[in-house]
């Protein structure tokens, strides 16, 4: 239960920070929890008041936090190689994150925006994977040094 609450908190915090940053960069001084010109943004803004749109956004950010937290379970207690774990994790996260990103109103539904999303997601995933790899290598080396190897 603690892990779930922490996942929700992280998702909401990160989603809120991203929405504030993107509002500062792309808006004309007005906060928007999502891109109003996106497919879902148009639906939300045509059918709901701003507090409801914010509530929807918070719910989606919470789901993203849960996905990212529990998606990492692929890397625990398995006989799979690290390559297989990484490929399955990448495909699973992309497959589940993509519709949440659409629901979150992060981009318009057109080929260019979808391709950009996938490219950006892949670059961020590779960067995080590489950072985690380096961190784990450092940790293993420190443990080996303590063991005198």
Could you read off the pLDDT of 6-36 as tens digits, one per residue? 999 999 999 999 999 989 988 788 899 998 8
- C-alpha torsion sign, points 73, 129, 121, 57: positive
The tally of domains found in the chain comes to: 1
- Given a cut of 90, whether residue 78 has pLDDT beyond it is no
Of 99, 59, 105, 18, nearest to 51 by C-alpha is 59
Mean pLDDT of 39-62: 96
Give the number of other Cβ atoms within 10 Å of residue 103's Cβ.
20
pLDDT value for 25: 86
Q: Are 113 and 39 in contact (CB under 8 A)?
A: no
- For 133, the token pair is 């790899």
Tokens 């985690």 sit on residue = 132
* pLDDT at 27 (0 to 100): 77
pLDDT above 80 for 77:
no
Tokens of 149: 């190897």
**What band does 57 get if pLDDT is binned at 50, 70 and 90?**
very high
The domain in which residue 10 lies consists of 2-147
Q: How far apart, in whole angstroms, are the C-alpha atoms of residue 148 and residue 144?
A: 6
């Amino acid at each position: 239960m603690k892990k779930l609450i922490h996942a929700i908190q992280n998702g909401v915090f990160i989603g809120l920070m991203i929405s504030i940053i993107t509002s500062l960069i792309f808006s004309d001084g007005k906060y928007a929890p999502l891109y109003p010109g996106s497919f879902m943004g148009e639906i939300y803004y045509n059918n709901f008041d701003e507090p409801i749109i914010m509530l929807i956004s918070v719910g989606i950010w919470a789901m993203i936090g849960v996905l990212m937290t529990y998606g990492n379970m692929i890397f625990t207690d398995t006989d799979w190689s690290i390559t297989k774990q990484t490929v399955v994790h990448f495909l699973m996260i992309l497959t589940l994150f993509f519709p949440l990103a659409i629901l979150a109103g992060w981009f318009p539904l057109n080929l260019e925006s979808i391709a950009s999303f996938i490219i950006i997601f892949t670059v961020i995933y590779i960067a995080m994977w590489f950072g985690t790899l380096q961190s784990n290598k450092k940790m293993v080396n420190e443990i080996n040094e303590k063991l005198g190897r």
